[in-house]
């Protein structure tokens, strides 16, 4: 099965859009060609900072909470993408259930709400399982595969495929309610602002749609691909792009409010804590940027042989934690950038950490799922899974759910 992990064996190079359908066909043959197809990754040039407005009159009611201790509605937990769980996990984690999809491969992070787990796979199937026991509620087949994590809100599940189509599905049945087509592959999930949704595409555009109908409100083009989920705080959104720039977007206007150079491209979803937004780059630097002042607060770099960051950070007061391709989990003081601790892993970390109480959980490319003491980085738990992790943990209702690139979904909790 071809996954993002295989694509990442090459550099962050240019992927041309005419290849998308060919690549999708290749995914269908992956049962035969377990290793063989490597995706080209990179940045296709577009007109900078152009804006197209489709609808000027949009009713925007007050923002609603999209998270609780019983839900994990977005890949990074909430609109701030801070990767912090609202629930507690048992002191001793055990496998509560697992589901194995024959010839399957998962690249994204599950979402959870109302006792249901949702996730799409590389073969184009979207699944809904019961959180209690992993039994299947429904599944629905689509033409193209999914590497983007789903997002959910109210009665709809939003999933975007490798052909650039965004689907809004009925959460109870999986039936499509509407579809919107971007002009390039969609690599990450949607985020929400008021009654609108936001997502980026390899066509270098940030899209804003009405969440209930898929009607285009506006789209904003930057100079290169957008692979991250746009982070939202107040009326601002943050997009760290392949154009080596952090874009600060005014959501009321659908225009760029400010831009901060970040020296290298990135596809990482940024996390917000207070006035700072945190993310790493392909150049091996980890940034804290003050989004109100549009300037770098601090930057951490490996002075040896820097490796890219493909892991999104988890951040809360006093600590920011991130995985690195240099085979480390790293923790920094979010205000000063002082290194608090590092933990060495046996393989690279592309999966993003999740903070749960006094522990942090993160998956590695070799299928090890680590539990670390948040304060010190000391290992307190480990599980060896079948396959490797690119997707990240989803934590809700006392359970942790994560899926591997070999098609296995694990649920950990009290047995």
pLDDT tens digits, 272-309: 999 999 999 999 999 999 999 999 999 999 877 889 99
pLDDT exceeds 90 at position 37: no
Per the prediction, the chain carries an average pLDDT of: 87
- For residue 246, give the H/E element and its range: strand 245-250
Closest residue by Cα to residue 367 from 343, 391, 344:
391
pLDDT exceeds 90 at position 212: yes
| pLDDT at residue 306, as a whole number | 87
Provide the percentage of residues in the chain whose pLDDT is more than 90. Answer: 81
179: its two tokens: 């579809």
Q: What is the CATH number of the domain that holds 51?
A: 2.130.10.10
Task: Report the first-to-last Cα separation within the chain, whole angstroms.
Answer: 31
CB 268 within 8 A of CB 310: yes
CB 392 within 8 A of CB 112: no
393: its two tokens: 């943990």
CB 401 within 8 A of CB 409: yes
Report the pLDDT averaged over residues 28-48: 37
Per the structure, the complete domain to which residue 34 belongs is given by 4-413
**179-202 pLDDT tens trace:** 999 999 999 999 999 999 999 999
How many domains, the chain?
1
One-character DSSP codes across 115-174: TEEEEE-TTSEEEEEETTT--EEEEEE-SS---SPPEEETTEEEEE-TTSEEEEEETTT-
Calpha distance 120→148 (Å, rounded): 8
Place of tokens 């063989």: 36
Place of tokens 């249901």: 116
Residue ranges with strand state E in 251-358? 255-261, 271-273, 276-280, 285-290, 295-301, 314-316, 319-324, 328-332, 339-344, 354-356
Place of tokens 């999809």: 101
pLDDT exceeds 80 at position 52: no
- pTM of the model as a whole: 0.87
Contact partners, residue 68, CB within 8 Å, separation at least 6:
86
**154-185 pLDDT tens trace:** 999 999 999 999 999 999 999 999 999 999 99
CB 245 within 8 A of CB 258: no
**357-371 pLDDT tens trace:** 999 999 999 999 999
Provide the percentage of residues in the chain whose pLDDT is more than 70. Answer: 84
Rounded to 5 degrees, what are φ and ψ at 25?
-65, -35
Residue ranges with strand state E in 291-386? 295-301, 314-316, 319-324, 328-332, 339-344, 354-356, 359-363, 368-373, 379-384
Calpha distance 130→144 (Å, rounded): 25
Residues 189, 192, 196: CA angle, nearest 5 degrees: 115
pLDDT exceeds 70 at position 53: no
| pLDDT at residue 415, as a whole number | 77
Q: Which residue has the higher pLDDT, 329 or 8?
A: 329
Q: How would residue 256 be classed by pLDDT, with cut points 50, 70 and 90?
A: very high
């Amino acid at each position: 099965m071809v996954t993002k992990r295989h694509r990442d064996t090459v550099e962050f190079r240019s992927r041309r859009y005419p290849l998308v359908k060919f690549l999708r066909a290749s995914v269908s043959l992956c049962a035969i060609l377990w290793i063989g197809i490597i995706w080209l990754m990179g940045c296709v040039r577009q007109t900078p900072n152009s804006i197209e407005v489709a609808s000027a009159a949009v009713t925007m009611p007050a923002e609603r909470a999209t998270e609780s201790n019983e839900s994990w509605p977005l890949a990074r937990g909430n609109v701030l993408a801070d990767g912090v769980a609202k629930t507690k996990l048992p002191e001793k984690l055990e496998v509560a259930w697992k589901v194995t999809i024959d010839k399957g491969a998962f690249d994204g992070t599950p979402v959870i709400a109302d006792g249901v787990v949702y996730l799409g796979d590389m073969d184009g199937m979207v699944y809904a399982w019961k959180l209690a026991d992993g039994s299947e509620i429904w599944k629905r087949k689509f033409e193209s595969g999914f590497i983007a994590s789903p997002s959910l809100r109210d009665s709809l599940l939003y999933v975007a495929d490798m052909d650039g189509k965004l689907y809004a599905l009925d959460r109870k049945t999986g039936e499509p309610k509407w579809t919107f087509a971007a002009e390039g592959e969609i690599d990450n999930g949607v985020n929400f602002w008021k009654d609108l949704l936001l997502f980026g595409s390899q066509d270098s555009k940030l899209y804003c749609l009405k969440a209930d109908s898929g009607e285009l409100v506006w789209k904003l083009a930057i100079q290169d691909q957008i692979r991250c989920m746009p982070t939202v705080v107040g009326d601002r959104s943050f997009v760290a792009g392949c154009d080596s720039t952090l874009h600060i977007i005014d959501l009321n206007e659908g225009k760029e409010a400010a831009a901060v150079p970040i020296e290298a491209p990135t596809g990482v979803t940024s996390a917000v804590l207070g006035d700072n937004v945190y993310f790493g780059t392909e150049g091996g630097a980890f940034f804290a940027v003050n989004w109100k002042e549009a300037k770098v607060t601090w930057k951490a770099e490996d002075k040896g042989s820097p490796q890219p960051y493909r892991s999104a950070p988890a951040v809360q007061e006093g600590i920011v934690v991130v995985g690195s391709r240099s085979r480390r989990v790293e923790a920094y003081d979010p205000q000063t950038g002082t290194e608090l601790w590092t933990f060495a892993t046996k393989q690279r970390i592309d999966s993003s950490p999740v903070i749960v109480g006094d522990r942090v959980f993160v998956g590695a490319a070799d299928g090890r799922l680590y539990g670390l003491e948040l304060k010190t980085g000391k290992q307190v738990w480990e599980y060896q899974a079948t396959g490797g992790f690119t997707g990240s943990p989803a934590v809700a209702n006392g359970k942790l759910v994560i899926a591997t690139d070999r098609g296995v979904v694990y649920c950990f909790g009290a047995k």
